[in-house]
Amino acid sequence: MDIDARGAQHCETTALGVLLRHQGLDLSEPMLFGLGSGLSFVYWDSKNMGFPFLGGRVKPFELTVGLAGRLDLELLVRETSSPRKAWENVAAPIDAGRPVGLQLDSYHLEYFSSKVHFGGHVVAMYGYDDDTAYLVDTEQQGGAVTTSLSSLAQARAARGPMTAKHRSFTLTVPKNPPSLPERIVPAITACADAFLDPPIANLGHRGIEKAGKLVRTWLRRTDDPERDLPQAARMMEKAGTGGALFRNLYRDFLGECADLIDSDHLRTGHRLYTEAATLWTEVADLIAAGRLDQAGAVLGDLARIEREAMGALSRL
């Protein structure tokens, strides 16, 4: 299969890009992320977690569902508890010349550089032979990569947080795709409304505000701060986020949109997310250095800045 195997920053948008470019729809990664209303925030902690987690996007696969709805794409999703059926669901479209998206646990992938369980990882698969699967993952993981079919089967069958039952999916672009400008505004306002009015205090701007208070107590949550604090910072900057906990991607999305739509609200949102992206990287640096009170103070500023940004964007 002739495939454009460009690896991007984030796993789900990398896979979406592969599937859509194969059908002639070539959108930037920030545009895919933004049209899928991918930006969010979650402060996640529980007794069975080793350390709190800061997340910057919607749940796994919500971005794909959102993008498909926004661009009138036909999204065909297959899930099964049968490994045999799961393989048929992947092999059939590939044999027909179509790449397939897979959600799986990255821990089992042989090329993966960091061995941690993450059941929300997404890759594109475009080929296989007797013992090898040909995948596209993020640029950080190598772009066009391979893993054994046995390791792929393990990754797809994994159970645990965020996993899906051998989920595979294909996307079909309509003959007359909608024009981007008319789909951009609903994508932005949906994202803004969810961010401004979260159902619980761990999400959206309220979650950032909560993080600003709780991050100051993180030394009480670890018996090894020299391990856990830099790890938390790396997750924010390096774990497929595009840097700044996905804020770089959203900043660039808004910048692209501002070239297509003339709106003061959009320009305000772009300016504020440019500021926010810089501050998120500063927060990661402060956390890594153990300067948690300062990190908390900057998070307080970020809650205000992002609330203001999303307030402007919600008025588009």
pLDDT of 244-286, one tens digit each?
A: 999 999 999 999 999 999 999 999 999 999 999 999 999 999 9
Render pLDDT for 215-225 as a digit per residue (tens, 0 to 9). Answer: 999 999 999 99
The CATH classification of domain 11-35+74-172, taken from the options 1.10.1660.10, 3.30.420.40, 3.90.70.10, 3.40.50.620: 3.90.70.10
CB 247 within 8 A of CB 280: yes
Q: For residue 174, give the 3-state DSSP assignment.
A: coil
pLDDT for res 47: 84
| pLDDT higher than threshold 90 for residue 115 | no
The ranges assigned to domains in the chain are 11-35+74-172, 180-313
CB 233 within 8 A of CB 69: no
| pLDDT higher than threshold 90 for residue 71 | yes
Single-letter residue type at 77: V
Give the tokens for residue 9: 């920053």
pLDDT for res 142: 94
Q: How many CB atoms lie within 10 A of CB 59?
A: 12
Asked whether the whole model's pTM tops 0.85, one would answer yes
Q: Which residue has the tokens 């770089």?
A: 248
Q: For residue 85, give the 3-state DSSP assignment.
A: helix
